[in-house]
Amino acid sequence: MDQLASLERVEAELRVALSVLDEVHVDVILVDGSLFHHPKDRPQIGSLAYEKFQEVTALYRLLYNRTMKKNVVLAGIVKDSRSTRLVNTLGDILPHVMRDPSVFEMLQGVDYRWLLKISRDCDLLDTFLEEGERTYAFRYSAELPQNSNASSDDISSWASSILVTYLKTARDDLPLRIEVLVDEDNGTTQLDRALSVILPLSWQHPEYGVPTPILEADARARISNNETQIVIDRLMALSGLTYATLERRRSRNPFGG
């Protein structure tokens, strides 16, 4: 059910992006979240969610093709990335860097392997990036499992067309993970084009560096607690289910804890 709910949300968001392309002339589209599904989110073949997953995959492909055809830059804004791609890269590089006696002496007694093991990319980069700075860009495909046996109707072939970078947009906030769909010939230009739009929209508050269009869209789409309760009551009336079935235990504590 959680997978189905997540896929329904993604489907609705993709359809909105496609409708924008059809109805409005735009240069850049910002998507709240990743441009690519995480491998762990792929349902098992034959599961209840797999058919819906195939529908969402088809919408991803349609969005990719349409933005490419219309020369629109498609960028994903990942607010809470748990990626460790750059941390792992640093773990591979450090043993070679430590061959320098001065570096070895500086790191002597520091269990950097443990620090890297518990760190995410955003944690690490928050220490080194200044406001307005970004990392180098790498392809999304570099994060996918090498032994991935994705079917031919999957979108994995598009992973190499998505460039990923981290941009620190606000002084006291973690960097944002930015994913941009690019073509073979103009990858750097399209990435810079997206970042030149994202940065000015993201530094209004020193402690929260999310682009304002993402904040506005979130505020418009959010469902209040009262509206949620109306939906739950309606589901109960139609299905005969109880609150114990529809709500998590922590949400229905009768003692007010």
What's the pLDDT score for residue 151?
47
Question: For 41-55, 70-84, 147-161, 226-240, which range has the lowest pLDDT when averaged over its residues?
Answer: 147-161
Residue closest to 208 by CA, chosen among 252, 254, 175: 175
Q: Which helix (H) or strand (E) holds 21?
A: helix 2-23
pLDDT, average across residues 72-100: 92
For the chain, the average pLDDT equals: 88
pLDDT digits (tens, 9 = 90+) for 149-208: 554 456 788 999 999 999 999 999 999 999 999 998 889 999 999 999 999 999 889 999
The answer, yes or no, to whether residue 34 has pLDDT greater than 90, is yes
The answer, yes or no, to whether residue 237 has pLDDT greater than 90, is no
pLDDT class of 247 with cuts at 50, 70, 90: low
254 vs 257: CA distance, rounded Å? 8
List all residues 6 or more positions away from 144 whose beta carbon is below 8 Å from its beta carbon. 39, 156, 159
Q: In what order do the strands lie in the sheet with 28-32?
A: 28-32, 73-78, 176-181, 162-167, 138-139
Per-residue tokens: 115: 């620090």
